[in-house]
Structure 1
Amino acid sequence: MNERIVFADLAGPVERDRAFTPDEDQWLTLLAAETRPDQFTLNLAPSCASADPQPILERQLDGSWRAGRYVGELRRDGRILEIRPRLGIDTIAAWASAALNLHTIPRAAEARGSSTLIAELTAALWRTALTAAARHGMPSFRTHQRHVGAAVRGRLDLPGTVALRAARSPFVASVERAKLLGNPVSQVIVAADQVLDTLLRHRPGWRGDRVDEIVPRLRTAVGGRPRLPSRRDLASVRYTPITLPYKRVADLSWQIVQHTAPDASPTDERTHGLLIDVAELWELFLLHCTRRATTLPVTHGTQHHVPTPLLRSARHPAAVLGRLYPDILIGAPEEPTAIIDAKYKPLNDRRGVDREDLYQLNAYLAAHNAEFGALAYPALDRQPPPAIQQRNPWLAPQNRVMCFTQLSIAESSCITDLAGLLMARNADTLEFDRNGYPPGGVS
């Protein structure tokens, strides 16, 4: 049986009194040094956080270990590293449901386990992506098939026919460009379906009606246990505008099979598993809540196609340095009235605001000429707000206003908090209570 080492995200081991053996410490050292989080992190959606991966594990100055912002499981050399969400499975499942419009993550809260949450969320993302891609048809792609026979199918293959006649064959060679379901995309979809079905313990109904209709047809075309295509095979597929959504399905399916089912992996990688970047999920959750909290336009920073550069060359105006992608822009993207940057980390008096986060927000406000910005942290406990929040609002040069605030981790309360924050900003005088919350905030 695999030995399991359990951490909480952004914290140390769950068993706080546990002392790691030298062998376990060496295992954690190798895992931290040789594991790139972007290789194992489930791609939820485009986000600013995902573009800035952080270590999965870090050794602290006192020699102890601290997990990063990811949750999930990694398996390596007979041991399992499990990182549990410090806010609880229910909270992470609710964020995913709200942010990604996944209305069903069945039994994730009941199971009380990170592995089940990962499986349920992965299945929901995969099911949603496949259903959306299949809206305009099956993943059929044109390919060249060579035929030898008495009749021409497609166009005549002259060199092939000459070779046949030289061999005294009465047949002709031809090449047909046909649309086939038997292709790498179908293969990887069927392989991912098998993995997810195993992870969900063959639970009836997890696929949904549309996927239940699609997968058997693909299985007929590629077989019950298809070979997992390589990345090169998938890259060779030529998508049309109609079939382009299948690229997202193929990439997600390959990631599911490659990192969740070691026996199906064509590589000799020692580490397997899937992780969720909770910082990315917090950003997407805040984006969802902000859109419900205001009638102003809300733009996701990664989808703002004209980013504002930090520096521009005086001699070559087209040359820029330091492209700025704020998490959330409120108002016209070119001239936002407010900027919110999501930070999935504790806000407390001991830690305070990280210097790089402070400089980053100030750069956002200056580059976009916005008058109001906020760093938004999850309210991790019910302790009194830290002093830095109680002293909100803060004034930057040119009288730009900054707030450092904890927001509720529950959807309805978070929307109320954000509405109050934006309402306070729009008022002639900024009003905050003694705890640093705007009017109406309930965090």
Structure 2
Amino acid sequence: MALEQIRFIHTADLHLDSPFLGLNKLPDKLFSRLQESTFSALERIVDTAIEKSVDFVLFVGDLFDGEDRSIKAQARLRKQLKRLEEEDIFAFITYGNHDHLAGDWVKLDMPDNVYVFNESPEAFLFTAKNGVTVHVYGFSYPERHVLTRKIDEYEKVPGADLHIAMLHGSEDGHSGSHQPYAPFTIRELKEKAMDYWALGHIHKSRVLHSDPYIVYPGNTQGRHRKEEGEKGCYFVTMTKEGQTELEFIETADIRWESVRIDLKEKMGMTQFYTSCMTAMESLGSKGQSILCQVMIANPYHLSQKLLKTIENGEFIEMLQDEVFLDDDFIWPYHVKLEENLKDEKKLISDDAFLNVLEEAASELFHADVFDQAVSDLFSHTYGSRYLDAIDGPEREQILQSAKKLVLRCLSEVD
């Protein structure tokens, strides 16, 4: 007799066919693999669903990166959904703010094992092979900007053993860099008396609550440096009584990571290069490729000559020359100098000088004083034609860089 339980995959934010803007300067082989990575993640999701013999897969919004979803992306998705159909695995889809229903695209029909939710929350009755019944709830975004509390439209429908709700949206006050679409509170979700809330929209894996489970799986493939760490989906097992177990499954083909090197003393080129390579290797690819940012704390321990090689790109080219772009690699894409003004001040004991430096910089924060200081540059017969006006944020960045340069030069003096 089959256990009275269901098994499913909860995934969201695949962003298929993401263009990976700004990364086209990567080596062609690496950029091509990055462009393919969202599809690789989808394939790993389906591989897991088949391996785990799940009953269904929940795709909670933003399957596609854009509202004009390409034929290529639709065809690749359809191919993987057909694989699920061949294994008698159902798929539930809601579209989110990126792939909303108001987009303009050539529609490619999906297999019969797929149900796409409409623009208003509704319930779909699913019966597993072992007879367990599940009401699956969800809605697709009718347009890109859905700011209303769609949670108010969710109503639990009697007549099923389990109730699972899909919602692509943001917890009130916790949207971070994401738009606060379809907002909700944990209390509101709990009041709906569902057995599991399958969320989407936030690109970081988070379990907001465990009774019932309220879960963001995060996105399946990091798309830029701000989406570091593990990316994947959840394999979920639920008994008929609602007892739930989660297992996170990593799906990203290429992971974004950072390593930090905290310099404690002066270093020459060879020692610094070795430290960077060792730090990168400590990440360990573990059957996965990594795009790595190397962060250098206390860079004033490095010579001006070495710092120049970092700033002009020579040093990172040295690191990259050691990388073979085979199946698993660690590719350094950026070396960042973490210049902390407070740390640099420790090198200089003359408090009076530092006070004068701070006062001079503070005066330059005033637009009229700053403009006077750069007036010769902007009045230059030839140079001025290539210059744009300097706004507030850019002025502040220039002044901070100037202060750091002064302190760095002083730190070189024995």
Q: TM-score range by the shorter chain?
A: under 0.3
- Please identify which structure carries the higher helix content: 1
TM norm structure 1: 0.23
